[in-house]
Amino acid sequence: MEISFYKYQGTGNDFVMIDDRSEHFDEQNLDLVSQLCDRKFGIGADGLILIRNKEGYDFEMIYFNADGSQSMCGNGARCAVAFSSFLGIVAAQAHFLAIDGPHQARIINGNVELGMGNVVSLENKGEDFFVDTGSPHHVRFVEDVEHYPVVDTGAAIRYSDDYRPSGTNVNFISVLGDDHIYVRTYERGVEDETLSCGTGVTACALVFGSQKNIDHVDIKAQGGNLAVKFTQGENGSFKDIVLIGPAEQVFKGSTVI
Ligand SMILES: N[C@@H](CCC[C@H](N)C(=O)O)C(=O)O
């Protein structure tokens, strides 16, 4: 069967996007997902997203990492909103379902502003932190993230006994200013550094924001700039979390599955 697909990127985190409102894509076929995401033998992407109809919502986002595993994806969700707008499913506002629950989003000045789920706590891990922003994230401050061994250290933490069996994503932060950080992320499910991770930069912004007692953090990622706004609550909790950044269609094509 021949299917159409689109490629989107959000600050360099790239996704195969499929309009699957007709439900022709077999979401149990994880070999197909990883084959389509393969950068040598397939289309190539960090992840694959199906857009499906869902009663009570504008759409449902079904997200897969490049290896076929599933989790919440912040950049993917921003791209899914842009794709749904392109398809005419939504206009400037969207209400959709993802694996971690319902989300609201809006498109303003070319950016997608994505409402994230509430965060109940920041966990201390020695000098590091753990935050669940829909996906699990280990967060470590380092002196010079530009030259830090993100892949080697990220993989060691991701596969450490502490995070078995499901593992974690691993983020490294250097402080650039009072409300500005530089983040690099090793992603579970891609098993490599990606150019940006939406749930990861959100986790980093919350950790940094709690230390500085601020409600807005600008983030530099390898693939571009993002921002996160939030309201701090009691005992390390956060609500009204919004991830802001661009989402762009980069090409379309068709493939036989
Ligand atoms: N790139 C994503 C995160 C995708 C999920 C992650 N790799 C996991 O398995 O937890 C983002 O933008 O949030």
Ligand 1 pocket: which of 15, 16, 48, 71 to mutate (most atoms within 8 A of CB) = 71
| Residue spans in the chain of domains classed CATH 3.10.310.10 | 2-116+247-256, 123-240
Which numbered atom of ligand 1 lies nearest the CA of 185? 1
Going from the Cα of 100 to the center of ligand 1, the distance in angstroms, rounded, reads 12
Amino acid residing at 235:
N
Question: Mind listing the pLDDT tens digit for each residue in 205-238?
Answer: 999 999 999 999 999 999 999 999 999 999 899 9
Per-residue model confidence (pLDDT) at position 227: 98
**Under DSSP, is residue 36 helix (H, G, I), strand (E, B) or coil?**
helix
Q: Whose CA is nearest to atom 10 of ligand 1?
A: 135
Could you tell me if the ipTM is greater than 0.90? Answer: yes
> Is 37 one of the annotated active-site residues of the chain?
no
Q: For the residues of 52-111, what is the DSSP string, one character each?
A: E--TTSSEEEEEEETTS-----HHHHHHHHHHHHHTTS-SSEEEEEETTEEEEEEEETTE
Superfamily (CATH) of domain 123-240: Diaminopimelate Epimerase; Chain A, domain 1 (3.10.310.10)
Fold classification of 2-116+247-256 (topology level) = Diaminopimelate Epimerase; Chain A, domain 1 (3.10.310)
Q: How many CB atoms lie within 10 A of CB 55?
A: 6
Q: What is the pLDDT of residue 245?
A: 98
Question: Does ligand 1 lie within 6 Å of residue 167's CB atom?
Answer: no
pLDDT digits (tens, 9 = 90+) for 120-144: 999 999 999 999 999 999 999 999 9
- pLDDT-flagged residues of the chain (< 70): none
- The answer to whether 75 and 224 are in contact (CB under 8 A) is no
- CB of 188 shorter than 6 A to ligand 1: yes
Reading the block at residue 41, the tokens are 């033998």
The residue from 37, 79, 197, 204 that is catalytic is 197
**What pLDDT is attached to residue 130?**
98
**Ligand 1 pocket, 193 CB below 6 A?**
no
Write down the pTM of the prediction.
Answer: 0.98
**Which of 169, 185, 192, 241 has most ligand 1 atoms within 8 Å of its beta carbon, as the pocket-test mutant?**
169
Query: Is 74 assigned a ligand-binding role in the annotation?
Result: yes
Q: Known catalytic residue: 73?
A: yes
Ligand 1 pocket member 9 (CB < 6 A): no
Nearest Cα to Cα of residue 134 among 94, 90, 168? 168
What pLDDT sits at residue 100? 98
CA–centroid distance, 184 to ligand 1, in Å, is 13
Q: Give me ligand 1 centre to Cα 135, in Å.
A: 6
